[in-house]
Structure 1
Amino acid sequence: MARHLIRRRLRAFWPDLHGLEVLGMGYATPYLRQFHEAARLFAFMPLTQGVMRWPGEGRNSVALVDETELPLTNFSVDRVLLVHCLENSDYLRDMLNEVWRVLKGEGRLIIVVPNRRGLWARFERTPFGYGHPYSQMQLSRLLREHSFTPLRSTQALFIPPTHSRALLRTAPAWERIGRRVSSHFAGVNIVEVSKQVYAVRPLRAAERRRLTWSLPQVVRPTPASRRY
Structure 2
Amino acid sequence: MSDAVKILLVEDDRIIASLVKKYLDIRGYVVHHAEDGVNGLKEFEKFDFDLIILDVMMPHKDGYTLAEEIRAKDPYIPILFMSSNNLPKDKIKAFRIGADDYVTKPVNVEELLLRIEVILKRQNNQPKVDQLKEEDPQEIHIGKYVLDFPYQKLMYGDDVRKLTTREAELLRFLFRHRNNLIKREYILQEVWGDDDYYKGRSLDVFMSRLRKYLKEDPTIEILNVHGIGFKFLVAEKV
Structure with the higher helix share, 1 or 2: 2
RCO comparison, higher one (Cα < 8 Å, 6+): 1
User: Which is higher, the Rg of structure 1 or of structure 2?
Assistant: 1
